[in-house]
Amino acid sequence: MTLRGSKRGFTTAQRTLDNVVKLQKKPKAFAPSARLSAKVDITRHEVNGWPVYHVSPKNLEPDTRAIFLHGGCYVFEINPVHWSFVASLAVEAGTTVIVPIMPLAPTGTASVIVPAVADLVASVIAEVGAGNLSLIGDSSGGGMSLAVAMLLRDRALPPVRRLVLIAPWLDISGTDPMLAVIAPNDPMLAVPGTHAAGGLYRAELAEDDWRVSPLHGDLAGLGPITLFSGTRDIVHADALRFLPLAAAAGLEVDYHEGAGMLHNYPILPMPEGDAARVEIAAAIR
């Protein structure tokens, strides 16, 4: 997840890597704003050394859960826009949203993070059942969500109620020819910097390893998916490649294409974002 006007930080690999070094020296805060407590109840837990937040509608104990994996090219922390989305979704869907604060790359890498998140999801399935749990991810968190769903399938666990992919980054290689078509009109992201960030996350893994680029993995046997993608977003190229692969694998995909929309529009404070959030709430309710 990035904010409007931040594209310059991704125009070269070095700019992105320099920003990562700065953030390692002075990490950003990750806790939700205290102001959100007016509309939701927030509790913090520790799970295997990670902070994990539970965000629920005020004075309610919902039976359903959603796990939200935040974006940020795997190297940038969860931010207030994410938290606002989470709080609104908890209220509108009447569910508890679980938000793990995962170690960022280069400290947290795919070969460690993906199975650790899968463990967390499995523990919630054991608690409430797969039919009462949805998995939601935006941008890099969307790619991670798909990889986690694939790993859970390989562990013979039942699919969650709904997998919601918001502007998912599904191939970190930056080699899709469509990127050159979309990139000039993307006001937020650029390939050189995102590719560099993806390299930190993949570490020892190949760029086409399904844990970092789930487009290259086996999609068979996954549960129903809701997918949002904006046409002015470089990761829209991934969505366009994913759809026929999902169809070939026999997956149920509810696809929402935002014409002229920018990266991550469903979680942004704009009319189109509000409408998308209503759709997401209905999908996981």
The alpha carbons of the chain give a radius of gyration, in whole angstroms, of 17
**221's tokens:** 């046997």
pLDDT for position 6? 73
pLDDT for position 211? 98
Contact between residue 263 and residue 139 where contact means Cβ atoms under 8 Å apart: yes
Q: Give the amino acid at 98.
A: I
pLDDT for position 2? 42
User: Tens-of-pLDDT digits for all 285 residues of the chain?
Assistant: 344 447 889 999 999 999 999 999 999 999 999 999 999 999 999 998 999 999 999 989 999 999 999 999 999 999 999 999 999 999 999 999 999 999 999 999 999 999 999 999 999 999 999 999 999 999 999 999 999 999 999 999 999 999 999 999 999 999 999 999 999 999 999 999 999 999 999 999 999 999 999 999 999 999 999 999 999 999 999 999 999 999 999 999 999 999 999 999 999 999 999 999 999 999 998
C-alpha closest to that of 246 among 268, 221, 229: 221
Q: Which residues contact 85 (CB under 8 A, 6 or more apart)?
A: 267, 277
Triad 181, 183, 184: Cα angle to 5°: 90
- Cβ neighbours of 184 (radius 10 Å): 9
CA dist 2 and 141 (Å) reads 12
CA dist 204 and 228 (Å) reads 30
DSSP 266: G
Sheet holding 96-100: strands in order across? Answer: 40-47, 50-57, 96-100, 65-69, 133-138, 162-166, 225-230, 253-258
Chain CA centroid to CA 125, Å: 19
- Kindly report the backbone phi and psi dihedral angles of residue 32, in degrees, each rounded to the nearest multiple of 5, phi listed first: -70, 155
CA dist 33 and 113 (Å) reads 25
